[in-house]
């Protein structure tokens, strides 16, 4: 069934290799971490080249609702955000009798990172989000906040949005034990506010593996860079010392995960894509493109001045890849175009992302004639010729971009609700159309 009431976007199908240079907007994960850290810092901070997207707008709105001052200033080729911190934790905006409403949209970084911050303020805070957000796992975070003495009342399913949080103006801290198997964001959320608790935080993960460990490293490195002592020397245990978070002036890196679809375009068309400002060192998981794409048949080079160049070969090869985290939908799109089978493993938690990504990828690859299958912790994708049709996005930006990648190689793909890419990259349709327009120009 191809019926949908959402707009369909005819994915560009150039029929020739692209040859493009694409400037990718800033990282969602870095922007939303540094915005939150700025709200807790010991003075005003400047977040340079901040991402402007739905997820970052929701973070800005949430921090303002808690009492932070955030001012936008135009800067060279982008926007900087000047952040005045919450001040003392009790300066939160929730002092009145009405709950302060916080809209999380579908942003994991807002629904997981902001409740612990609100717990440091004084007042009542009502958290909710999109219909899909109410299905995303929240129970370990609710549980952790209760262990820290915060009163939370759920209004829907237990351990899910919507809920109300009552905060008294400070957190003592101490030992917290959770099962973070469903999302690394539970760990990051607690570590980020750890230094502003009275005695610091000892966080223990009890369960099987924590996913997306790169994102936890990003949190730990961001905290250390602002003078916070974090001990992560033992697996599944983190200790954050109490103390100030230094105010800062930092430039956000391009979003290397969102660079993925553009780099994938080089493979899907046998062309070349260049991304400027690729960091020499980074905590972003998207730096893995430099090792993943050569295994799939591309050549990858980063020049001394930070331009990453990817050139596709005559064919895309399948891959056996573990723990690809938020890169998985992009990798899966390439696997659907590959000449040999692929196995993606270690990504069971993608079932709790913007949508159940494993089920969604299997359904949409199959809708275009492909051969994909779910495993307990990932996907098997086998070569089979694809045909045009509707590729549904399930309100998931990475599903929409996966459909666009397949559309480069397969004529007649229509991506449902391409506007959902505004979650992290509002310019995606325009950037993609410009990329496709370079085909055959060289």
Ligand X SMILES: O=C(O)C1=C[C@@H](OP(=O)(O)O)[C@@H](O)[C@H](O)C1
| Residues noted as catalytic | 326
Q: What distance in Å separates the CA atoms of residue 25 and residue 29, rounded to the nearest whole number?
A: 12
**Longest CA–CA separation in the chain, Å:** 65
Q: Quick one: what does residue 398 bind among ligand X, ligand PEP, none, with the CB cut-off 5 to 8 Å set by partner type?
A: ligand PEP
Residue 250 counted as an annotated binding residue: no
Cβ nearer to ligand PEP, comparing 29 with 309:
29
Cβ nearer to ligand PEP, comparing 353 with 367:
353
CB–CB of 258/31 below 8 Å?
Answer: no
Q: What distance in Å separates the CA atoms of residue 230 and residue 246, rounded to the nearest whole number?
A: 14
Q: Quick one: what does residue 420 bind among ligand X, ligand PEP, none, with the CB cut-off 5 to 8 Å set by partner type?
A: none
Considering only CA atoms, which of 332, 331, 314 is closest in space to residue 270? 314
Cβ nearer to ligand PEP, comparing 44 with 426:
426
- With b for 16 or more beta-carbon neighbours within 10 A and e for fewer, the 114-152 pattern comes to bbbbbbbbbbbbbbbbbebbbbbbbbbbbbbbeebebeb
Q: List residues near ligand PEP by CB under 6 A.
A: 107-109, 326, 353-354, 398, 424
User: In the bound complex, what is the minimum distance in angstroms from residue 104's beta carbon to ligand X?
Assistant: 14
Question: Is residue 184 near ligand X by the rule CB under 6 A?
Answer: yes
Cβ nearer to ligand X, comparing 19 with 326:
326
Cβ nearer to ligand PEP, comparing 49 with 109:
109
DSSP codes of every residue in 252-291: PPB-HHHHHHHHHHHHHHT-EEEESS--SS---GGGGHHH
User: In the bound complex, what is the minimum distance in angstroms from residue 4's beta carbon to ligand PEP?
Assistant: 22
Identify any residues that bridge with 316 across adjacent strands, giving them in sequence order: none
Residue 353 counted as an annotated binding residue: yes
Q: 3-state DSSP call for residue 371?
A: strand
What part of residues 196-215 is at the interface with ligand X (CB under 6 A)? 211-212, 215
Q: At what angle do helices 139-147 and 108-118 cross, to 10 degrees?
A: 10
Q: What distance in Å separates the CA atoms of residue 319 and residue 341, rounded to the nearest whole number?
A: 7
Residue 212 counted as an annotated binding residue: yes
User: In the bound complex, what is the minimum distance in angstroms from residue 211's beta carbon to ligand X?
Assistant: 5
Question: Is residue 31 near ligand X by the rule CB under 6 A?
Answer: no
Residue 28 counted as an annotated binding residue: yes
Q: Quick one: what does residue 414 bind among ligand PEP, ligand X, none, with the CB cut-off 5 to 8 Å set by partner type?
A: none
Considering only CA atoms, which of 351, 333, 350, 352 is closest in space to residue 342? 333
The distance of Cα 44 from the centroid of its chain, to the nearest Å, equals 26
Q: What distance in Å separates the CA atoms of residue 79 and residue 279, rounded to the nearest whole number?
A: 19
User: In the bound complex, what is the minimum distance in angstroms from residue 41's beta carbon to ligand X?
Assistant: 19
Cβ nearer to ligand PEP, comparing 392 with 398:
398
Q: What distance in Å separates the CA atoms of residue 102 and residue 64, rounded to the nearest whole number?
A: 10
What part of residues 108-167 is at the interface with ligand X (CB under 6 A)? 108-109
Dihedral Cα 139, 142, 145, 147, nearest 10 deg: -60
Could you tell me how many residues of this chain bind ligand X (CB under 6 A)? 13
Q: What distance in Å separates the CA atoms of residue 369 and residue 43, rounded to the nearest whole number?
A: 56
Residue 48 counted as an annotated binding residue: no
Residue 33 counted as an annotated binding residue: yes
Q: What distance in Å separates the CA atoms of residue 28 and residue 418, rounded to the nearest whole number?
A: 18
Q: Quick one: what does residue 393 bind among ligand X, ligand PEP, none, with the CB cut-off 5 to 8 Å set by partner type?
A: none
Q: What distance in Å separates the CA atoms of residue 40 and residue 248, rounded to the nearest whole number?
A: 11
Question: Is residue 438 near ligand X by the rule CB under 6 A?
Answer: no
User: In the bound complex, what is the minimum distance in angstroms from residue 384's beta carbon to ligand PEP?
Assistant: 26
Count CA within 13 A, CB hemisphere, residue 111.
Answer: 28
Residue 325 counted as an annotated binding residue: no
Cβ nearer to ligand PEP, comparing 250 with 353:
353
User: In the bound complex, what is the minimum distance in angstroms from residue 257's beta carbon to ligand X?
Assistant: 7
Q: 3-state DSSP call for residue 114?
A: helix
Q: Quick one: what does residue 269 bind among ligand PEP, ligand X, none, with the CB cut-off 5 to 8 Å set by partner type?
A: none
Question: Is residue 56 near ligand X by the rule CB under 6 A?
Answer: no
CB–CB of 344/338 below 8 Å?
Answer: no
- Options 39-47, 179-187, 236-244, 298-306: segment touching ligand X (CB under 6 A): 179-187
What part of residues 293-332 is at the interface with ligand X (CB under 6 A)? 325-326
Q: 3-state DSSP call for residue 378?
A: strand
Question: Is residue 45 near ligand X by the rule CB under 6 A?
Answer: no
Question: Is residue 272 near ligand X by the rule CB under 6 A?
Answer: no
Q: Residues at the annotated binding site for 3-phosphoshikimate?
A: 28-29, 33, 183-185, 212, 326, 353
Interface residues toward ligand X, by CB under 6 A: 29, 108-109, 183-185, 188, 211-212, 215, 325-326, 349
Residue positions forming the annotated binding site for phosphoenolpyruvate: 28, 108, 136, 185, 357, 398, 423
Q: Which residues are annotated as a binding site?
A: 28-29, 33, 108, 136, 183-185, 212, 326, 353, 357, 398, 423
């Amino acid at each position: 069934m191809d019926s949908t009431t959402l707009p369909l976007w005819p994915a560009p199908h150039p029929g020739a290799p692209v040859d493009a240079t694409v400037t990718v907007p800033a990282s969602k994960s870095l922007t939303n971490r540094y915005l939150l850290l700025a709200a807790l810092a010991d003075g005003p901070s400047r977040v340079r080249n901040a991402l402007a997207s739905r997820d970052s707008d929701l973070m800005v709105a949430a921090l303002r609702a808690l009492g932070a001052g955030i001012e936008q200033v135009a800067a060279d080729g982008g926007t900087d955000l000047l952040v005045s911190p919450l001040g003392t934790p009790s300066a939160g905006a929730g002092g009145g009798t009405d709950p302060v409403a916080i809209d999380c949209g579908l942003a994991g970084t807002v629904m997981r990172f902001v409740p612990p911050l609100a717990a440091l303020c004084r007042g009542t805070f009502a958290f909710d989000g999109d219909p899909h957000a109410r299905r995303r796992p929240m129970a370990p975070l609710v549980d952790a906040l209760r262990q820290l003495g915060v009163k939370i009342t759920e209004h829907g399913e237990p351990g899910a949005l919507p809920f109300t949080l009552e905060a008294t103006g400070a957190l003592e801290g101490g030992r917290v034990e959770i099962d973070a198997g469903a999302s690394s964001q539970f760990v990051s959320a607690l570590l980020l506010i750890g230094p502003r608790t009275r005695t610091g935080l000892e966080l223990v993960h009890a369960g099987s593996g924590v996913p997306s460990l790169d994102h936890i490293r990003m949190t730990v490195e961001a905290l250390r860079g602002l003078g916070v002592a974090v001990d992560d020397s033992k697996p599944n245990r983190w200790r954050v010392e109490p103390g100030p978070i230094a105010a800062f002036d930092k430039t956000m890196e391009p979003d290397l995960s969102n660079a993925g679809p553009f780099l994938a375009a080089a493979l899907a068309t046998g062309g070349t894509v260049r991304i400027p400002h690729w960091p020499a060192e980074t905590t972003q998981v998207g730096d893995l493109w430099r090792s993943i794409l050569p295994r799939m048949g591309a050549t990858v080079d980063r020049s001394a001045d930070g331009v990453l160049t990817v050139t596709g070969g005559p064919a895309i090869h399948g891959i056996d890849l573990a723990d690809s985290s938020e890169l998985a939908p992009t990798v899966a799109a390439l696997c659907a175009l590959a000449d040999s089978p692929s196995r993606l493993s270690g990504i069971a938690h993608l079932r709790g992302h913007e949508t159940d990504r494993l089920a969604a990828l299997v359904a949409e690859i199959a809708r275009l004639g492909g051969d994909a299958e779910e495993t307990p912790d990932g996907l098997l994708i086998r070569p089979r010729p694809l045909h045009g049709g509707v590729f549904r996005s399930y309100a998931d930006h990475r599903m929409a971009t996966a459909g666009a990648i397949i559309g480069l190689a397969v004529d007649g793909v229509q991506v449902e609700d391409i506007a959902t890419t505004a979650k992290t990259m509002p310019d995606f349709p325009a950037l993609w159309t410009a990329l496709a327009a370079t085909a055959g120009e060289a």
